[in-house]
Amino acid sequence: MKKSFVVLTCLGLMLSGIFVFTACEDEEEKKGSIAFWTDFNTGKPIKVDLKGKGVDRSGNLTKYVTSSATPSCGTTSTLTFSDIPFGTYSYTASVDDITWWSGEITFEHSCFTMKLEEGDFEKTGSISFWMGEDPEFIPTVELEGNGYDLSGTINMFFPSGTPNCGENGTLTFSKLPFGKYNCTLSAVGFPEITEKFTITLNKSCLTVKLDDL
């Protein structure tokens, strides 16, 4: 009886070990690939960042799909992250350091595809320059970038509160594509007053207080 008990106990431990190993093996197999793709040409690489469940991956999407069919994971027209555990992840996709796409995805299959829609790219907005105090000179701003080369002057100041884009007294440039712009602040009759700076337009109205430069 004692021998039988020992044999049965050992057999139980062996079966238990097989079950644990099988369960672990199943867990390890629950991985797949996430493929990002688009069907339009941005003209520049799209940098994609994927994070979650200990995963922190990034890469560049440099091609776009020319057919109407959804591409498979791993094809050359996609940016595919492989060996990703099933679960929920956050992602951002940017061009020239401007984030155009972001969100959260959950996948439970061997291949998950995420399309970056054209409608979310190249939004436009306004940049409004203003002064909070009377500068005792006429400020001139030159703005250059993304195919634009604009300039203008400011003839009013706002001692309290922040003006809206387009408000009388501001220098506002409208319908500009999101992105980086190089600016130069100068003063009529004061050649020693020159300030160069870079701004990033990433919302519908960006106000820039020149006093703070």
Domain limit, last residue, from 120, 154, 185: 120
Tokens for 99? 């984030």
Whether 50 and 132 share a structural domain: no
| Residue 104 belongs to a domain | yes
| Residue 17 belongs to a domain | no
| Residue 70 belongs to a domain | yes
Whether 49 and 106 share a structural domain: yes
Whether 149 and 67 share a structural domain: no
Whether 161 and 85 share a structural domain: no
Q: Give the three-state DSSP class for 145.
A: strand
| Residue 9 belongs to a domain | no
Whether 39 and 109 share a structural domain: yes
Residues in the chain where the model's pLDDT stays below 50: 1-26
Tokens for 161? 């509160």
The CATH number for 89's domain is 2.60.40.10
The contacts of residue 4 (CB under 8 Å, 6+ apart) are none
**What pLDDT is attached to residue 99?**
83
Domain limit, last residue, from 120, 147, 174: 120
Whether 135 and 114 share a structural domain: no
Question: Half-sphere exposure of 205 toward its Cβ, with a 13 Å CA cutoff?
Answer: 12
Whether 69 and 109 share a structural domain: yes
| Residue 1 belongs to a domain | no
Whether 61 and 89 share a structural domain: yes
> Helices marked H in the chain — which ranges?
2-29
Q: Are 89 and 52 in contact (CB under 8 A)?
A: yes
Domain count, the chain: 2
Whether 44 and 91 share a structural domain: yes
**What pLDDT is attached to residue 27?**
52
Whether 96 and 135 share a structural domain: no
**What pLDDT is attached to residue 206?**
94
For 116, the domain range is 30-120
Whether 48 and 112 share a structural domain: yes
Domain limit, last residue, from 120, 140, 157: 120
Cα–Cα distance for residue pair 189/26, rounded to 1 Å: 76
| Residue 7 belongs to a domain | no
| Residue 103 belongs to a domain | yes
